[in-house]
């Protein structure tokens, strides 16, 4: 196991984590921004008002993008398990 392999593995792991988390995080960001704009325009500053739209939007995106996220994580896990004997020398 060389230092280059470890760095490459770490970079790939961070890339996969970013790709899997991005749809849900971006959804929360956009819905939070829209709710914040609406709250600023209507001067209703209730903290709990932004929670339900974010939760519903993230659940919807999770249902839509969930199979892709699962396939990506399963493929990554498979690649780790298959490549593990070659990494230990």
Provide the residue ranges of all domains of the chain, joining segments of one domain with +: 21-87
Q: Per-residue confidence at 89, pLDDT binned at 50, 70, 90?
A: low
Q: What is the pLDDT of residue 43?
A: 86
Distance of CA 41 to CAs 36, 48, 61, Å? 9, 17, 27
pTM of the model: 0.80
Render pLDDT for 6-48 as a digit per residue (tens, 0 to 9).
898 899 999 999 999 999 999 999 999 999 899 889 888 777 7
User: Cβ of 81: how many Cβ atoms within 10 Å?
Assistant: 9
Q: What are phi and psi of 11, to 5 degrees?
A: -65, -45
Tens digit of pLDDT for each residue in 43-66?
A: 887 777 888 999 999 999 999 999
């Amino acid at each position: 196991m060389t230092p280059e392999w470890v760095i490459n593995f770490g970079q790939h792991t961070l890339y996969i984590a970013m790709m899997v988390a991005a749809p849900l995080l971006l959804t929360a960001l956009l819905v939070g921004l829209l709710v914040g704009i609406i709250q600023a325009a209507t001067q209703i500053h209730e903290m709990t008002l932004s929670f339900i739209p974010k939760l519903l939007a993230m659940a919807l995106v999770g249902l839509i993008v969930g199979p892709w996220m699962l396939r990506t994580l399963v493929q990554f896990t498979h690649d780790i398990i298959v490549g593990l004997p070659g990494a230990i020398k």
